[in-house]
Chain A
């Protein structure tokens, strides 16, 4: 048996749902194409097979997928088909890092989801007596409240009105902002993103509640500004008895996968559609994933405490009403992880690949 026959045999085995690692493979088959797919594609298919039975469409999609162009290209199998002296060197697929497989899985998920229809959000009939408002601050709190109000006939904007600047504890706000960025354009990894914030030396503008309020007050035609540190109070300030309920922080790996899919969607969909796909299709798929949320890594906690203390002092002295205790912006200790575990992200990506493909098949083209 030649090495090439073994490699093609392994691919046929994986196509049939096999899960044997390349190192333990001993079968053979005739070539089923001109070029054998790369080690990344074959290993990802093996991992998918370990979790469930993929459709033939998903199998072919995995085998044909291209790793992102700024990463290693499809790599030859070590001990497989003969390779020339040039080009990438062969690898044993079991040596591939989870990160490399997760990147490929995110590309596949993005391809699966890019064509999904986006449902228009419900817009309620406009209430003429509504309070005109603008929402600023922690995007994980403002976005659901805005959606809630739009559905009840209270869209934001309009002449005059009040500006609500929503916030919560500073550590949570930073996690929230990264979460929102991840589901917008695919942000930097959490640690890198936070390191950039720390190096800039100030909270991001959209989380600096005092600065946001001050800007609104200093407009030529000042707006009536309310800072809200207890988001549960926000809906009543806007004339609605019940709000959308406090948003639960998402599991770290769910956001990490959203970030990767967001990045992979960038070349596939125009910005508006991409944003809608991420918020209305990708995010709901990941929203209820169990798992611990992110927390501020130990090395940056002092900086976050200092920034929160500064914000607390400024809120106490501000020329605007503060609803909720200003001390609520001080970070609180909560259970969480300092960074997403990429093996959990990969497992989640594989499960979603299987689920969305089966769902797609049931719904039909």
Chain B
């Protein structure tokens, strides 16, 4: 049985990709030092979370069936400290959270819940951008309106509050845990050093004294305003004709992550100035709840007070068209380079295919081919014939059964 289990349940856009990448790449070293990060692939905990929450995810759920039970079994059987981390766990229902904790050994095992949080001033634009990178077409203003709708009956609103509403997530995950076993990690203010967040995670998960390679290979880079607008426009035009399987490598990976995220000089996405009056008291209320409940805070709750609105505000629904055009040129160039690469591959494959066709046609054109085909077919219809064919093939020295 695990001595201690730390389950990190969110929230998205709080440095979780970096943390999970470090844990995954160091899983062997961690194990040697008594810490289990049970994963045989980098998205193992994502699949387990999909399974726990019975959440379809563009076909990935096919690989997720039974993944949570497998993960929980590994944790229960490990003698030491176990770490589980995925940000979409934040949206688990109360029943799912209870099932998860029970499967990890709660209440007999010492289970800790970790929640990393960041100010809504950064989280809201980041979630919209993530939404756009997942094929959505919704303008920023409509996204914000859906978040502000108290009914929360839009898919976007339901998802956003599910993964971002800090007190509600803690209600669902940590209702029957003592406050000292609930750790709230704050993301440093904008401009803070990246290492500060890692140190906070490291302190929370008890990794400070361990020998680890903490250089991240995987990250979820952000886009600027014109770049996000451009991707949204691409979605509007291409969504109905580009299948999801092609969208992910071409738009999300090639365009957004590998190309447009490098344009760091364009204006950053922020909250519109009129939304600050809505967000500030909400954020304050959440912070008060965390303080009142006496959870273990790693960092400073003042970190999650959002920065004041920037001047001037860059509206992604009315962007600077010259900047969008610039981003589009970069995107077209990247697609051309990728097309050239694929074109070369296509030429090679076409050559191979034509060669195979020629060989096939030559085989059919030989005068004996029809006769041999008829003989084999006739022989296959009787037991004696099949036996004779087997003897012939064995004698010939290689099988032609698949021919």
Name A residues whose Cβ lies closer than 8 Å to a Cβ of B: 34-35, 64, 66, 68-74, 84-89, 107, 128, 159, 196, 199-200, 220-221, 263-264, 266-271
Question: In the complex, what residue of chain A is closest to B289 when comparing beta carbons?
Answer: A86
Contact between chains at B167 and A70 (CB < 8 Å): no
Interface contact A267-B150, CB-CB below 8 Å: no
Q: How far is the CA of A171 from the CA of B148 in the complex (A)?
A: 42
Known: A69-B162, A267-B64. A86 touches B155 (CB 8 A): no
Contact A73 B151 (CB under 8 A): no
- Residues of B contacting A264 in the complex (Cβ-Cβ under 8 angstroms): 54
A sample of 18 cross-chain residue pairs with beta-carbon separation below 8 angstroms, ordered by A number, consists of A66-B95, A69-B91, A70-B159, A72-B158, A73-B162, A84-B171, A86-B168, A87-B165, A87-B171, A88-B161, A88-B168, A89-B151, A128-B381, A263-B56, A266-B62, A267-B50, A267-B61, A269-B65
Between B56, B61, B64, the greatest number of chain A beta carbons within 10 A of the residue's beta carbon is seen for B56
Would you call A87 and B167 a contact (CB within 8 A)? Answer: yes
Q: With contacts A86-B165, A196-B240, A221-B364 known, is A267 near B151, CB below 8 A?
A: no
Q: Which 5 A-B pairs have the closest CB atoms?
A: A267-B54, A87-B168, A266-B56, A86-B167, A267-B61
Q: How many whole Å from B101's CB to the nearest CB in chain A?
A: 14
Provide the B79-97 mask, 1 if CB < 8 A to any CB of A, else 0: 0000000000001111110
- Complex CA–CA separation, A72 to B155 (angstroms): 8
Judge whether B390 is part of the interface by a CB distance below 8 angstroms: no
Q: Is B357 part of the contact surface with A, judged by Cβ < 8 Å? A: yes
Q: Of the candidates A66, A73, A200, which one forms a contact with B54 in the assembled complex, judged by CB atoms under 8 Å apart? A: A66
Q: Which of A70, A73, A88, A267 has the most CB of B within 10 A?
A: A267
Q: Is the interface of B mostly helix, strand, loop or mixed?
A: helix
Q: Which residues of B contact A84 (CB under 8 A)?
A: 167, 171
How many whole Å from B175's CB to the nearest CB in chain A? 8
B95 contacts A71, C-beta separation under 8 Å: no
Interface size on B, residues (CB 8 A): 41
User: Which A residues are in CB contact (< 8 Å) with B159?
Assistant: 69-70
Q: Which one, B55, B62, B152, B360, contacts A88 given CB within 8 A?
A: B152
Nearest Cβ on chain A to B116's Cβ, whole angstroms? 18
**With an 8 A cutoff between CB atoms, is B393 at the interface?**
no
Q: A34-B175, A87-B168 are in contact. List 10 more A-B contacts (CB 8 A).
A: A66-B53, A69-B54, A73-B162, A89-B151, A89-B152, A159-B377, A220-B360, A266-B61, A266-B62, A267-B56
- Chain B, residue nearest A198 (CB): B240
Closest to A264 in B: B54
**Whose C-beta in chain A lies nearest to the C-beta of B55?**
A69
Taking a contact as CB atoms under 8 Å apart, the answer to whether A268 and B96 are in contact is no
What is the chain B residue whose CB lies nearest that of A72?
B158
Residues of chain A within 8 A of B194, CB atoms compared: none
Interface residue? B77 (CB, 8 A): no
Select from chain A the residue with minimum beta-carbon distance to B285: A85
Mark interface residues in B116-159 (1 if CB within 8 Å of A CB, else 0). Answer: 00000000000000000000000000000000001111010011
In Å, the complex CA distance between A95 and B232 comes to: 34
* Distance between Cα atoms of A137 and B80 in the complex (Å): 58
User: Are A267 and B161 in contact, CB atoms less than 8 angstroms apart?
Assistant: no
Q: Are B56 and A220 in contact (CB under 8 A)?
A: no
Bits for B34-51, please: 1 = Cβ < 8 Å to A, else 0: 000000000000000011
